[in-house]
Amino acid sequence: MRKAAVQVSPTDKMITVLIYVLFSLFACVCVYPFYSIIINTISANDISARGDVVFYPRHIHFQNYLDVFKIPGLGNAALISLGRTVIGTLLTVGASAFLGFMFSQEDMWGRRFWYRFTVITMFFNAGIIPWYLTMRSLHLTNNFLAYILPTIVAPFFIILVKTFVESTPKELQQAASIDGAGTMTIFFRIILPISKPILATVAIFTAVDQWNSFQDTLLLVTDSKLYTLQFILYNYINQASSLSTMVNLQNAGSTAIASLATEQTTTSIRMTVTIIVVAPILLIYPIFQRFFVKGIMIGAVKG
């Protein structure tokens, strides 16, 4: 038996079209800044510096990327950022998963006190100066561990995981407990496999925070070997003019006459380094996207 076709009124069609148009415009507004930076990095630098590259690249070349990679310290900064992102994300996800699970166990000793003690740190902060003095007293200045240790315990992520665990059927843990499984066995064999959505969500948030962080470098690090990409970007933006001169002088040694189309400018330095720093973290979202929405929605069901 065939179902009757659903009749859609002209008003509903107009509203649907209007919604698609508005969201398409909104998407273009969000995407255009990234697109604009990209086309400026591959356009002739003299044209880009004048602000004449708007909708499409002009006189395409890729010399900007080759030149920027020659800037001293960029490779080492990339390794530092990659290291802190990978190690910091793994430790934060692991700590959030375990503490979120433990805080959901009613038989945990002092569960309410320890949970509230952890959550209250979200609302009270001593400030930058006491934080700096604490970090210095722990010998975490000019130390790679300064990027890792302070971020391992993240109350917000613990709350997300705890809420997720509490939304799962308790019968799973009870059945495992009856079969003789201990707390750690339940955590590794039962909770971790079913917590992939929320853990992927925590991993995305943590990775973005670690990759984009530069304030800890600014306050705690004076050793250039521990500079991160974001801190290098911060310095490059402030020193883009002198850097463009330095790169042009390096290129002048290999070519007699530098072309205006590929001669580095302040604009080309800033935009090219921006793409180099931002692009890697943007690649993470497509990988974890299918977990992200599910995890954040489930983690927000309960308080």
| pLDDT tens digits, 38-82 | 888 888 777 777 777 778 777 777 777 777 777 777 788 888 888
Of 91, 118, 96, the residue nearest 198 (C-alpha):
96
Q: Is the predicted pLDDT of residue 302 greater than 60, yes or no?
A: no
Question: What pLDDT is recorded for position 256?
Answer: 41
According to the model, what pLDDT value does residue 64 have? 77
- Element housing 84 (H / E): helix 74-102
pTM (2 decimals)? 0.74
CA triplet 214, 220, 224: central angle to 5 degrees? 75
- Is the pLDDT reported for residue 3 higher than 80? no
pLDDT-derived band at 15 (thresholds 50, 70, 90) equals confident
Q: How confident is the model at residue 248 (pLDDT cuts 50, 70, 90)?
A: low
Per-residue pLDDT, 254: 47
82 C-beta neighbours (distance < 10 Å), count: 15
Residue 251, pLDDT score: 55
pLDDT at 295: 54
